[in-house]
Amino acid sequence: MPSQGEVLDNWCRRVRDAAMLAHGQVEPAFLESPLVDIAYAIKSRVKPKPKIYDKVLRKRKDPKKPRPDYEPRDVTDAFGIRVVTLFHRDIVDATQYILNMANHDEKVAHSPFVKRGVREVLILTSRPEGDPLSIGAEIQKVVAQAGHADVCKPPQASETGYSSIHLILDVPVSFEVEINKTQKDHPLPIEVQIRSVFEDAWGEVDHKLRYSENRKVDATRRASSPWQPHLNALKVYLDGCDQHADVIKTQALDVRSQERIVPAYIPFESIQSALQVCANLDDNFQIQLRSAYAARERLETALTPIDKARAAIDMVERFEAIERDFHEILQSGTDESKELYFNVKMEEAFGALFTQRPDSFERAAQIYRKLRQDYPHPVVLYRLGQIYYDRKQYDLARKYYEEAARLLEKSANIPSRHWLRSGLPRAQALVGWRKSQMLPETIRGQRERLRLFEKAFDYAKQAVDAAEAGSASEASARNSLLYYGVEYLLACRTQKDRSKIAFETLKPTLNILAARLHLASTNETRTLDTMCRAYRMFGEIGQAKKVAQRVEELIESLNTQGDPDEKEMLRYARETLGLGEHSQRKKQLTKRQKKQ
């Protein structure tokens, strides 16, 4: 028996109160997240109790699909929040981040949602199926990667032309409801809408004309209204504006990246380079700067996560103190002060990444985003890319890496052997490889994976060429070159391609890495794992087993098998150690049978 009268009224009040609590949780989480970089506006509202009451009654008597048992707990938009993007293509990034929040991704600072509490994903579109400008397929891909394909419906063409992405997510704001004569806490479902500014403008006009004032008018009369054709024409026009805005953004970013002037200075690499710039400044400034860089050195040499976190917190506090105590000097507007301010903020953000505080990544990202506006430096963009890579937002990471590469290409002041010239292409290779691991096992997926492997291999070659000979950077670059080369070879279809790359590039690289390492004493697990894979590919099973033995010893002694990458390395090492055992036992059995 559905609730009626005072009981229904009380339930509607409970839902409204829960929605107000959800508002206090969800909106601040959105406003303090990277969504503010993507969004033009973030709007929210709590549905008043009378409107909740009206919706329940309307759903029960819906002429098309009546739901007589519909209750206030079934209302999914008692609280609604809308993310409005300037550009249509940004909707994909916004959707991906919100799903990461819903999944409690480890790199998301704070999630206001029930973990994996995704009830429904609706893709409402005004574009016909197969339209190359539609983002429907991209949204479906993002939803599938987040593990919610089962609640994502195929893109639906709206009769009215309305277009938006709707997510129904659970918020842990429980309210007491009566279910089967018992009392039970019920998480509150809320609606998250994601649309472009042009879709939002049309949606507001449509809502005003069609939804609010004409709810009691039947669909046939609405369709024949004299304003209806004009509303439809407005939608077509604004869809075209959406398309043009995306084109303008793409072209403007290309031009801006070419026109932006990269600062003449580069981030300090040591306390000595910092002191050279501030040699004429107050002695107290230099003393505080020395102590801050000493904390940075402790961070770099710390061996345990706890020691790193302590050193990072100390480092951040010291650089914050410099900014606070010497604000006038840092904001004086001279070239010297700008360089010092840039480096103080860079160090503050770098330290924040290691504090292990819940907001550490977002705090660092906020600093880097502000520096990106005022100091368009490739190192800033590289650091932003690293943050989004760590959050598993690989498309955003790749975007920042590509912007950093464009700036680096024209940065004559950055030395040819600067670490960034090797580190950046290595990062680009890694993010491409990560993307390749997410592709489906289809023909199209295999082709795209091969393309990404080839691209990663090319980036790794750039990293080797840019690294200083004999440096740790060169060793890391060669390790990347060998790893991606093996992946690429295994994905290649023709033996001609395989042999050419193998013997011209990979075999010499393997020999260089093997000559550099002392197998019995090295702790470079990742390099050893790469060598093990290469030896196996070249058929040198004996060498592969020797390396695999060392990988197994290292990972077991470090007790870090919870790390996904190290779990995979350990699995591969043990698989390698087991190679040939079956055939050896078979040979021994055959010999015994012959003797008998």
Q: What percent of the chain has pLDDT over 90?
A: 37
Residues 414-440 have pLDDT tens digits of 888 888 999 999 999 999 999 888 888
* Same domain flag for 494 and 522: no
User: 185 in helix, strand or coil?
Assistant: strand
Higher-confidence residue: 488 or 263? 488
Tell me, what's the pLDDT at 76? Answer: 94
Q: Computed from CA positions of residues 404, 410, 411, 417, in that sequence, does the dihedral angle turn out positive or negative? A: positive
Last residue of a domain, one of 467, 488, 508: 508
The answer to whether residue 237 is domain-embedded is yes
The answer to whether residue 415 is domain-embedded is yes
Tell me, what's the pLDDT at 179? Answer: 47
Tell me, what's the pLDDT at 488? Answer: 87
Higher-confidence residue: 250 or 216? 250
* Same domain flag for 397 and 530: no
The answer to whether residue 264 is domain-embedded is no
Picking from 29, 11, 49, the residue whose alpha carbon sits closest to that of residue 111 is: 29
* Same domain flag for 22 and 165: yes
At residue 67, φ and ψ (nearest 5 deg) are -130, 85
Average the pLDDT over each of 70-84, 161-175, 518-532, 573-587 and give the range with the smallest value: 573-587
Last residue of a domain, one of 214, 247, 280: 247
Cα gap 533→496, rounded to integer Å = 20
Residues 299-349 have pLDDT tens digits of 988 888 899 999 999 999 999 999 998 888 888 888 888 888 888 898 999
Q: Domain of 337? A: 271-508
Residue position matching structure tokens 């990404």: 452
Cα gap 52→72, rounded to integer Å = 7
pLDDT-derived band at 493, boundaries 50, 70, 90: low
**Residue 158: in which H helix or E strand, if any?**
none
Contacts of 12 (CB under 8 A, 6+ apart): 49, 52, 53, 56, 72
The answer to whether residue 289 is domain-embedded is yes
- pLDDT beyond 90 at 281: no
Contacts of 85 (CB under 8 A, 6+ apart): 38, 39, 40, 91, 94, 194, 195, 196, 197
Tell me, what's the pLDDT at 583? Answer: 45
333: left (phi over 0), alpha (psi -120 to 50) or beta: left
Residues 24-59 have pLDDT tens digits of 999 988 887 878 878 889 999 999 999 999 999 999
* Same domain flag for 363 and 486: yes
Cα gap 562→569, rounded to integer Å = 12
Bridge partners, 184 (sequence order): 177
Residues 138-175 have pLDDT tens digits of 899 999 999 999 999 888 877 677 889 999 999 998 66
Cα gap 595→186, rounded to integer Å = 74
Contacts of 129 (CB under 8 A, 6+ apart): 155, 157
Tell me, what's the pLDDT at 210? Answer: 67
Contacts of 116 (CB under 8 A, 6+ apart): 102, 103, 104, 147, 148
The answer to whether residue 79 is domain-embedded is yes
Picking from 422, 390, 419, 383, the residue whose alpha carbon sits closest to that of residue 404 is: 383
Cα gap 76→165, rounded to integer Å = 15
Write the CATH number for 325.
Answer: 1.25.40.10
Half-sphere exposure of 435 (CA within 13 A, CB side): 24
- pLDDT beyond 70 at 387: yes
Picking from 136, 127, 244, the residue whose alpha carbon sits closest to that of residue 197 is: 244
* Same domain flag for 351 and 291: yes
- pLDDT beyond 50 at 502: yes
pLDDT-derived band at 521, boundaries 50, 70, 90: confident
Tell me, what's the pLDDT at 20? Answer: 92
The answer to whether residue 257 is domain-embedded is no
* Same domain flag for 239 and 325: no
222: left (phi over 0), alpha (psi -120 to 50) or beta: alpha
pLDDT-derived band at 392, boundaries 50, 70, 90: confident
pLDDT-derived band at 185, boundaries 50, 70, 90: low
Mean pLDDT, the chain, integer = 83
The answer to whether residue 494 is domain-embedded is yes
* Same domain flag for 234 and 128: yes
- pLDDT beyond 60 at 403: yes
* Same domain flag for 498 and 560: no
* Same domain flag for 454 and 558: no
* Same domain flag for 116 and 57: yes
Domain count, the chain: 3
pTM: 0.57
pLDDT-derived band at 581, boundaries 50, 70, 90: low
* Same domain flag for 416 and 552: no
Tell me, what's the pLDDT at 489? Answer: 85
Cα gap 90→242, rounded to integer Å = 11
* Same domain flag for 525 and 438: no
pLDDT-derived band at 269, boundaries 50, 70, 90: low
Asked if residue 480 lies in contact with residue 425, where contact means CB atoms within 8 angstroms, the answer is no
pLDDT-derived band at 587, boundaries 50, 70, 90: very low
Last residue of a domain, one of 491, 508, 525: 508
| Mean pLDDT on 123-135 | 76
The answer to whether residue 523 is domain-embedded is yes
